A and B are shown apart, each in its own frame.
Chain A
């Protein structure tokens, strides 16, 4: 149990007659960069939704650090240190980049209605520190020059950066990245990859869904392959590259 980050057992989810996810057993290790790949409709995003609480499972169990989080509320799972991003980037459009980050970094206590009415000194100090912290994260991701732009004015790639910045501001233990490179130009994709690798080596466990096979092969320590909701392969990049099932179901098909 000690090295298990996330344990999934007999996890099932179907939509109508379609079995979206059906995983018997899957264990993710701490401090590992694991990618989840598979053809479109393989259930990767549904799997993310299930373990982050955004969809309820039909049956099965999910454990995070040994604790049962099956069908917990998303915000509760996030508070346990597992933060996710979305395939279609979800930034707060009509708030500035700085506000996006400050909201995400702010503690629940700091957000309270009574504290906001009385505007305590404590809150003021907290907000000042939070602003500094937000700028630190923005510097790290090279978006500090856009601090006062509204998020909706950002390009697709910049929004991905903002979402990532928002996710790491509270130093999570675990990141679930849903297609972090989708729709990003090659240069920025390179930067994002470096960043993800840097985060991983900094001690954050990362699960990543991604279609860019080159990138996945390059940075993953382990790759899990899903097809039609089930696990068809699991191993190191070199092992996956030569796996017959994977080539048949995914790699061979949309030869990129």
Chain B
């Protein structure tokens, strides 16, 4: 393992991330800061989710394709525990828990959902687990949609953002007057990036710990783990719960970023975006998903501008198609030229599914 090669990777990663942020300013002569704050907020939220997924796949080798449901579970439980308005009538409930408690319970609910989903599914290997998790996530979404009296069903949940925004520091408001960006979104973005920072501190400790070592052993060979007297199922469940809890927090932040919550947010596409970010950043890498997420969101949000360069009179539908084309192309190029992503360790982690 050569440390200078790793630092080269870090330099390359920071360079390409800076370049993509520069691209935002280049393509948007006006309102670049507003666009940047928008995409950095999304990048923070999705990056946090990808960090959770990385515990499942990068550390433990679990093919989880139901990540959106963990995000959804966190978001719905948190919002429903706070003052909100749900459903067609949309009457605002005035009672509810303080936001800190609600978020904590939302994270716990997501982790518990991870455990519940994991109990029957976790004995499955590889692609079988992928199939079960993607199906479970869809079941979750459809059940939430049909429980209209509780979750607001297709009408969703509104009037909950004040729970967070009333704590917004004054300096954001002042800055927003001078630089013309949405202060509420900036506040969500700041919290997302603080969450990432704190999560990474926790995971850095765990990554170099006996527990992290045990998860990696599970990833490499479950049978050998069992033969050494270790309970592989319990280790996998712990991994599932931790990753699901982190996803739950990112789901809460996503809800606050949108301002209203509907079940359509948690379609499988969300899971695939998070997968793309994780692969782009580097499977198994701690900080990789952050850079992956920023680059991913620059592509997502600047596709329109790029499309105008290639096609002068593109309409909305064509733009949407072009966006998917770019994301698909990105993943293909990655798989061919850099399967270990921006910051993945080549010696340790190729994208290798058993």
Chain A residues in the interface with B (C-beta under 8 A): 52-54, 73-75, 78-79, 83-86, 90-95, 99-100, 102-104, 106, 108, 110-113, 115-117, 119, 123, 127, 148, 150, 166, 170
Q: Mask for B204-229, Cβ within 8 A of A = 1, else 0?
A: 01100111111011011101111111
Contacts of A150 in B (CB 8 A): 347-348
B residues in contact (CB < 8 Å) with A: 1, 202, 205-206, 209-214, 216-217, 219-221, 223-232, 235, 238, 242, 347-349
Residue in contact with B214 in the complex, picked from A93, A111, A170, CB distance below 8 Å: A111
B238–A90 touching, CB < 8 Å: no
Is B210 touching A111 in the complex (CB atoms < 8 A)? yes
The reply to whether A102 and B213 form a contact with Cβ atoms under 8 Å apart is yes
What residues on B are CB-neighbors of A127 within 8 Å?
A: 210
Q: With CB as the reference atom, state the residue of chain A lying closest to B211.
A: A116
Most buried by B among A52, A104, A127: A104
> Distance in Å from the Cβ of A85 to the closest Cβ of chain B?
8
- Nearest CB to that of B220 among chain A residues? A92
Residues B212 and A103 in contact, CB atoms below 8 Å apart: no
Q: How far is the CA of A119 from the CA of B206 in the complex (A)?
A: 9
Indicate if the CB atoms of A117 and B220 lie closer than 8 Å: no
**B214-A52 in contact (CB<8A):** no
A83-B211 in contact (CB<8A): no
A108–B235 Cα distance when bound, in Å, is 11
Q: In the complex, A197 Cα to B225 Cα: how many Å?
A: 26
Structural contact, B220 and A86, CB atoms closer than 8 A = no
Residue of A nearest to B223 (CB): A90
Measured between alpha carbons, how far is A91 from B211 in the docked complex, in Å?
18
Q: A75-B232, A117-B202 are contacts. A52–B210 as well, Cβ < 8 Å?
A: no
Residues of B within 8 A of A117 (CB): 202, 205-206, 209
Contacts of A90 in B (CB 8 A): 221, 223-224, 227
A227 CA / B202 CA spacing, docked (Å): 55
Cα A100 to Cα B205 in complex, Å, equals 20
Nearest CB of B to A90, in Å: 4
Which of B226, B229, B238 is close to A108, meaning CB atoms less than 8 Å apart?
B229
Nearest opposing residue in chain B for A114, CB measure: B211
Q: Is B223 a contact of A54 with CB atoms below 8 Å?
A: yes
> B221: which of A53, A85, A91 is its contact (CB, 8 Å)?
A91
**Neighbouring A residues of B202 by C-beta, 8 Å:** 117
Given the complex of chains A and B, what is the CA–CA distance between A123 and B205 in angstroms? Answer: 13
Nearest residue (CB) in A for B202 is A117
Rounded to whole angstroms, the CA-CA distance of A103 and B225 in the bound complex is 9
Contact in complex: A92, B217 (CB < 8 Å): yes
Nearest residue (CB) in B for A102 is: B213
Contacts of B235 in A (CB 8 A): 111
User: Which A-B residue pairs are the 9 nearest by beta carbons?
Assistant: A116-B209, A78-B229, A116-B211, A92-B220, A74-B226, A90-B224, A79-B229, A104-B228, A111-B214
A74 x B220 contact (CB < 8 A): no
Q: Considering the chains assembled together, what is the distance between the CA atoms of A104 and B228 in angstroms?
A: 6
Subset of 27 A-B contacts with CB under 8 Å? A54-B226, A73-B226, A74-B223, A78-B227, A78-B228, A83-B228, A86-B223, A86-B224, A91-B221, A92-B217, A94-B216, A94-B348, A95-B213, A95-B216, A104-B228, A108-B229, A108-B230, A108-B231, A111-B235, A113-B206, A113-B238, A116-B205, A116-B210, A117-B209, A119-B209, A123-B209, A166-B228
Considering only CB atoms, which chain A residue lies closest to B219 in the complex?
A94
Q: How many whole Å from B283's CB to the nearest CB in chain A? A: 11
Measured between alpha carbons, how far is A92 from B225 in the docked complex, in Å? 9
Checking A75, A91, A113 against B229 with a beta-carbon cut-off of 8 angstroms, the contacting residue is A75
Closest Cβ neighbor of B238 among chain A residues: A113
- Taking CB as reference atom, which chain A residue is nearest B213? A103
Given the complex of chains A and B, what is the CA–CA distance between A28 and B220 in angstroms?
A: 33
Q: Report B236 CB to chain A, min CB distance, Å.
A: 12
Say whether B211 contacts A112, CB under 8 Å: yes
Neighbour of B210 across the interface among A93, A106, A166, CB < 8 A: A106
The answer for the CA separation of A106 and B212 in the assembled complex, in Å, is 12
Asked if residues B210 and A110 are in contact (CB atoms below 8 Å), the reply is: yes
Residue contact A103 to B217, C-beta cutoff 8 Å: yes
How far is it, in angstroms, between the C-alpha of A83 and the C-alpha of B227 when the chains are bound?
A: 6
Q: Nearest Cβ in chain A — how far from B149, in angstroms?
A: 38
A-chain residues with CB within 8 Å of residue B217 when the two chains form the complex: 92, 95, 100, 103
When C-beta atoms are compared, the residue in chain A nearest to B235 turns out to be A111
